[in-house]
Amino acid sequence: MADIASLDISFTLNGAPQTRSVAPFELLIDFLRDDLGLKGTKRSCDVQVCGACTVLVDGLPVSSCTSLAADIDGRSVVTIEGLAQRGELSPVQQAFVDHAAMQCGFCTPGMVLATTALLEHHPHPTEQEIRHYLRGNICRCTGYIKILEAVKSLV
Ligand code: FES
Ligand code: FES
């Protein structure tokens, strides 16, 4: 059997076309953080529980700690670094700032990306729908009231 040491993949990262080689077993979080230097994607639980490592793949939230880099071949990936445009925070980022919806900020990239996906697909969610959608994103240092207020301000 052939030994496949690396795979060539083509994808879009934060709007820019990319072609790279990845090991077949390389995790997406390691590819983003270590190979591409995009440290905004956070590692915490490593087992798809906390949501800190969330990125968007074809517009949907994905846990990069349990996804393979090879699987983004032909797809579009957005990390927290890709949300601000021309120095302007995205509306979701700005709402989190305006509502002080963070303390340490470690969970914030995942929260912001999950919220971005939510509003893209459901522009007018109820509070219950917001809570349900963000249930996979854990904040360990504060309550969720400010986060909820930030998201509700965008509905
Ligand atoms: S680090 Fe991926 S879900 Fe927690
Ligand atoms: S703001 Fe610290 S973990 Fe959420």
DSSP secondary structure string for all residues of 48-86? SSS-TTEEEETTEEEEGGGSBGGGGTTSEEE-GGGT-BT
DSSP at 90: P
The fold of the 7-82 domain, in CATH, is Ubiquitin-like (UB roll) (3.10.20)
For the entire predicted model, the pTM comes to: 0.95
Ligand 2: centre distance to CA 117 (Å) = 20
- Nearest ligand 1 atom to the CA of 66 is 2
Q: Reply yes or no on whether the pLDDT at 3 is more than 70.
A: no
Ligand lying closest to the C-alpha of residue 107 = 2
Which CATH number does 91-153 carry? 1.10.150.120
113-142 pLDDT tens trace = 999 999 999 999 999 999 999 999 999 987
Mean pLDDT of 40-69: 98
108-118 pLDDT tens trace = 999 999 999 99
Q: Where along the chain do its domains lie?
A: 7-82, 91-153
Ligand 1: centre distance to CA 17 (Å) = 26
Ligand 2: centre distance to CA 43 (Å) = 13
